[in-house]
Amino acid sequence: MSRFGPSLQIATQPQRPLPDKEILWGSQDGGCNRFPEKDAISERRYSDNPMPLLAFGRAVSEALDRVWIVDEYLLMPDEKKGDSVEQVKHRVLRRIEKIVEWMQPELVASDIRFLTKHHAEVFEAGALERLQERAQEINARSARRPMKCTIEVRTHLTQKFNYIHDRFAIIDDELWHFGGTAGGFHASVSAASRGWRATDHGAIQFFEMAWNAGEQK
């Protein structure tokens, strides 16, 4: 026995079992596992408010450790020709509120990171302040959290790491891949796949590399 006493056993970070691998298509019903039909395609394409994937929102809300998303247009909705400044601001705030809804005050995860592109419209709408308000609400709900929840946004994706075409998310150790906007916001036909173990595919190291590129001079 060590003269310093027995060593403490540190519990491993809890992880949810990975769901079965599946592909999900965006729809106004919140997602489906089949290619959409013509009427559904038209309904979504011309909607002013495309429904994000409900399954992704649930996955974020149930995260135990981390939520990492890399997408240059995560916080910036698709441009609509003829929009006024106020209309753009309204759509940005509506997008932010949907993202905030994924992270209710009861959220367990503490490491929330969004790696995206700089959009002046996002800053002007006060969107980032809204995310920080939600982080404060999460921490206030449980003063005895093992770790303080942080929601951090970095906007260097196309400036200092201009190598990514697709969009990805890591929730705990589950890797999501998106053909359109992360979370399923895109109005055109696009899909997401889930159920991949992030550590099996080097996704953790890749995200960290992209994330830390913003610190390089």
Q: Per-residue pLDDT averaged across 128-147, rounded? A: 91
Check residue 14 and give its pLDDT: 53
Residue 96 lies in a domain: yes
Q: Count how many domains the chain has.
A: 1
Residue 158 lies in a domain: yes
Check residue 7 and give its pLDDT: 42
Residue 148 lies in a domain: yes
Check residue 2 and give its pLDDT: 37
Residue 186 lies in a domain: no
Residue 206 lies in a domain: yes
Within 10 angstroms of residue 162's Cβ, the number of other Cβ atoms is 11
What does the DSSP 8-state code read for residue 182?
Answer: T
pLDDT in tens, 181-214: 999 999 999 999 999 999 999 999 999 999 999 8
Decide: helix, strand or coil at residue 25.
strand
Residue range of the domain that includes 210: 64-177+193-215
pLDDT in tens, 27-78: 999 999 999 999 999 999 998 889 999 999 999 999 999 999 999 999 998 8
Q: Per-residue pLDDT averaged across 133-137, rounded? A: 97
For residues 51 and 186, the answer to whether their CB atoms sit within 8 Å is no
Q: Say if strands 66-70 and 167-171 run parallel, antiparallel, or are unpaired.
A: antiparallel
Residue, of 216 and 28, whose pLDDT is higher: 28
**Which pLDDT band holds residue 176 (cuts at 50, 70, 90)?**
very high
Check residue 78 and give its pLDDT: 84
**Which pLDDT band holds residue 217 (cuts at 50, 70, 90)?**
low
pLDDT in tens, 67-109: 999 999 999 988 877 888 898 899 999 999 999 999 999 999 9
Q: Per-residue pLDDT averaged across 123-127, rounded? A: 88
Tell me, yes or no, if the pTM score tops 0.85: yes
Residue 105 lies in a domain: yes
For residues 145 and 37, the answer to whether their CB atoms sit within 8 Å is no
Residue 47 lies in a domain: no
Residue 28 lies in a domain: no
pLDDT in tens, 158-175: 999 999 999 999 999 999
pLDDT at residue 153 tops 80: yes
Question: Assign residue 198 a region: left if phi > 0, alpha if psi is -120 to 50, beta otherwise?
Answer: alpha
